[in-house]
Amino acid sequence: MNAMIHSSEDDLVFLDEPEASDISVATKPQKTWRIMIIDDDPDVHSATTFALGSLEIQHRALSFLHAYSAAEARDILQQETDIAIILLDVVMEQEDAGLQLVSHIRKTLGLSDVRIILRTGQPGYAPEIDAIRDYDINDYKTKSELTRTKLYTAVTSAIRSYEQICAISASHRGLEQIINASTELMALQGLQNFASGVLVQISGLLGLDAEGLVCARQGNLEQGADLQDLRIIAATPAFAGLLDQNLDQLPQAAVIERVQRSLQERRNLYEAQTTTLYFSNVAQRDFTVYLDTGLQLGEMDKRLLEVFCSNISVGLDNVMLASRLHNYAFYDPLTGLSNRLKLLQTLNETLQSPLKQQSTLSLIDIDHFAETNDALGHQFGDMLLCSVADRLVAYFGADCQLARVGSDTFALLGDEEMVCPEAILGLFTRPFEVDRQEVQLSATIGLVQLADYDGQGSEALKDTNIALKRAKAHQRAGHVYFTRDMGVEIRERVRLMHALRAAFENQRLFLVFQPQIDMASGRPVGAEALLRWKTDDGKFVPPDQFIPIAEYSGLIVDIGEWVLRTACYELVHLRSLGYTDFQMAINVSQAQFSHPLFMQSLHRALQDTQVPPECIELEITESMAMKDPDLLIKTLYQIKQLGISISIDDFGTGFSSLSYLQKLDVDRLKIDRAFVNEIKDASSDASIAKMVIQLGQNLGLSVIAEGVESEMQAQTLRSFGCHLAQGYLFAKPMTREDLHAWLAHSMPN
């Protein structure tokens, strides 16, 4: 074909082209490169189609679309997709119609991938550099210079450029899909939801409706290891019947082999019809996705999946971390039971549902568990708690909510017919077998019936604990149901505790002093400092109400130190008034006495006030001597070294061992007012008071009686050999000003 083909000045011309046999032609594949010819000359369409129609580029044949005006081209481009090249005449209806169409293609239609080759029969009209600079144009040729070979070369170059741009665009779209998939997966909570989301996102990424499943296990699968703990945690409909089962239940041996190989080799497997993806994570929990893709994936898909797997592995780490945090937040790590927070969630849900009407909450406390733990070790104690939990779960687990809410305290929430004392305590009649030992335990329980309960879950749990404490205080191995009276009582204690703290901080507490008398001479020998509390409205709170609360709250330590220092300052003041042969008795509580800084605060009080230690007497209760005699003996020795004397208050009420009493370095016994009150008349033998006096005489201890209110009681005590007393018969407790006036009248200087 050496002859020139032409029709007019603007005709497409092919010059000196080689024979068609010189150009390689392959078998026409199914998929083609779509080329659009836009030119107002029909001969150009014919010549271009004739020149390129039988050729193959990049193993694909060419197919053509035709437009004979810019307007027609706009309509076609609005509908058609996947056009690789546009061969565009610059001059058509108007001189710049071609360039305006380029602008419409790029800016209005947003077709950035398609390659545009401008052709013109008027080379001087649109300068080549300006056109390429101002518009996204792949090539710019005059029709007169395009031979068949040159046209083929320009089209081939444009198609290669289009293919690369499409690959880059596909990669970008794939990366966007991965980012979007990662974002959506991160929003899913729980491993199973995450796994199901992975299946959905992979299918979307590949553009396939693939069937598959997700397997997970704890720890790594070693070579030759079985699959007993490898479970199917997510599946598409084809495998849905195997969800939550072990992988070895899968009938397709080939699937099991591929999953196992992916786990063992810790890599992705791409095969002719299937793909198996391995996800690594810091928690060392193997996570594998098997997919029936039905085809061999291309390199682009493989690269995208590699990025996806790497990205999702990070997400899997986050899901595993969130799962562990969820377990730590809501479950007890030792027993696997729910913890307090999870119980409160369930309890609040129950209180908002009809189940409330027949539900009961119970707290189960193991009696004397601390002693068992100390005697047999913490590891044994943990196994014992697990054994208790297992028995509770075996009996109640299917119908009730169980939780471990304390070191040895379990909670049980369920129907009142099941959560009853008889059923719970009955489980503790049989011994628990732990480490080949039988251990017999008992439990104490507190219960709250929720039917008429109007509070929140936290309040219900608090009230159940109140009932438990009441049961532990009065009926070990028994039970107590919470009542509204208990709630009123405990809330009053809390109110009183806060009020006491405020009163102490605002200096509403003060001391009164009750004189101690030598009944033989009638002279005052000292006084006992007593704490009083007067509220803002002028009412007095009895000491037997606020002292236990001060001890319970720990405030007694600070209050006790203040009492000690205030009493010492008052004694120094009395000595300055001339009452030098006068002693001050000061009460010390158990909490204050056992505080590690007690001796330090005592030293500081003596040093700051400069009070003579021999004029101070500290009163301790008999119950203190019983609780920790070794600590008491050691501390008393240190106190005595300072020159301070010691008195045992309320003697006879604590049933202390006389052997301990002999070991205590004390100076005086104080007869409790309850025994003084037994002296009803002159004929009364008042056996306990008499016994205490005789015991003191035998041990060489001074004895003082408190609560003496009648002359008959005083005479009887004197007849027994007790010569010191305090009580309303002699003087009531009085303020420091009243004490000064009373002493001035009773002991004129």
pLDDT in tens, 589-622: 888 888 889 999 999 999 999 999 999 999 998 7
How confident is residue 194, by pLDDT bands cut at 50, 70 and 90?
A: low
Q: Is the pLDDT of residue 202 over 80?
A: no
Is 0.75 surpassed by the pTM of this model?
no
Q: Please answer whether residues 727 and 707 qualify as being in contact, where contact means their C-beta atoms are separated by less than 8 angstroms.
A: yes
SS3 of 477, please? Answer: coil
Is 80 a residue whose pLDDT tops 70?
A: yes
Q: What confidence score (pLDDT) does residue 382 get?
A: 92
Q: Are 527 and 567 in contact (CB under 8 A)?
A: no
Other Cβ atoms closer than 10 A to 529: 22
State the pLDDT at residue 683: 60
Q: Where is average pLDDT lowest: 192-201, 404-413, 452-461?
A: 192-201
Q: Closest Cα to residue 460, out of 326, 576, 363?
A: 363
Hey, what domains does the chain have and what are their CATH numbers?
A: 20-170 (3.40.50.2300), 188-330 (3.30.450.40), 340-482 (3.30.70.270), 503-746 (3.20.20.450)
Average predicted confidence (pLDDT) for the chain: 81
374-378, 536-540, 582-586, range with the lowest pLDDT: 374-378
Mean pLDDT of 116-132: 67
Q: Cα separation of 466 and 446, whole Å? A: 8
Strand ranges for 313-426 from DSSP E: 359-366, 401-404, 409-415
Structure-block tokens of residue 264: 């063992």
**Which residues are CB-neighbours of 537 under 8 A, at least 6 positions away?**
none
206 band by pLDDT with thresholds 50, 70 and 90: low
Mean pLDDT of 57-71: 88
Residue-wise DSSP of 43-111? HHHHHHHHHHTT-EETTEEEEEEEESSHHHHHHHHHH---EEEEEEES-SSSTTHHHHHHHIIIIIS--
Strand partners, 37: 66, 87
**Res. 708: pLDDT tops 90:** yes
Q: What is the tens place of the pLDDT at every residue in 244-295?
A: 778 877 878 888 888 888 888 888 888 888 888 887 664 556 678 888 876 6
In degrees to the nearest 10, what's the CA dihedral of 173, 174, 180, 184?
150
Task: Please give the share of the chain, as a percent, with pLDDT higher than 70.
Answer: 78
Name the residue among 111, 36, 95 with its Cα closest to residue 68: 36
pLDDT score at 2: 35
Angle at 654 between CA 649 and CA 657, to 5 degrees: 105
**More confidently predicted of 129 and 531:** 531
Q: What is the pLDDT of residues 639-670, one digit of tens each?
A: 999 999 999 987 766 545 566 677 788 999 99
**Minimum mean pLDDT range among 23-27, 102-106, 714-718:** 23-27
Binned at pLDDT 50, 70 and 90, residue 16 comes out as: very low
Judged by average pLDDT, the poorest of 32-41, 92-101, 574-583 is 92-101
Say whether 120 sits in a helix, a strand or coil.
Answer: strand
Residue-level pLDDT at 266? 82
Please classify residue 493 by burial: count the beta carbons closer than 10 Å to its beta carbon, then call 0-12 exposed, 13-18 middle and 19+ buried: middle
* Residue of higher predicted confidence among 550 and 2: 550
pLDDT at residue 700 greater than cutoff 50: yes
Please give the single-letter amino acid code of residue 356. Answer: K
Predicted local distance difference test score (pLDDT) of residue 13: 42
The reported pLDDT for the residue numbered 443 is 94
Please state the rounded mean pLDDT for residues 345-350.
92
Average pLDDT over residues 526-544: 92
Share of the chain above pLDDT 90, in %: 36
pLDDT for the residue 26: 35
Spatial neighbors of 388 by CB under 8 A, at least 6 apart, are 366, 410, 432, 441
Q: How far apart are CA 125 and CA 337, in angstroms?
A: 85
Give the amino acid at 687: S
Q: Per the structure block, which two tokens stand in for 215? A: 């397997």
Question: Would the pLDDT of 193 be above 90?
Answer: no
The whole-number pLDDT of residue 344 equals 92
Average of pLDDT values for 528-534? 96
Measured distance CA(102)–CA(130) in Å, rounded: 14
Q: What is residue 313's predicted lDDT score, i.e. its pLDDT? A: 59
Confidence at residue 118, expressed as pLDDT on a 0 to 100 scale: 83
Question: What is the model's pLDDT at position 131?
Answer: 62
Average pLDDT (345-349) is 92
Q: What is the 3-state secondary structure (H, E, C) of 709-731?
A: CCHHHHHHHHHHCCCEEECCCCC
pLDDT tens digits for range 222-247: 444 455 567 777 777 777 777 777 88
> Residue 222's pLDDT is what?
44
pLDDT at 108: 83
pLDDT: which is higher, 735 or 262: 735
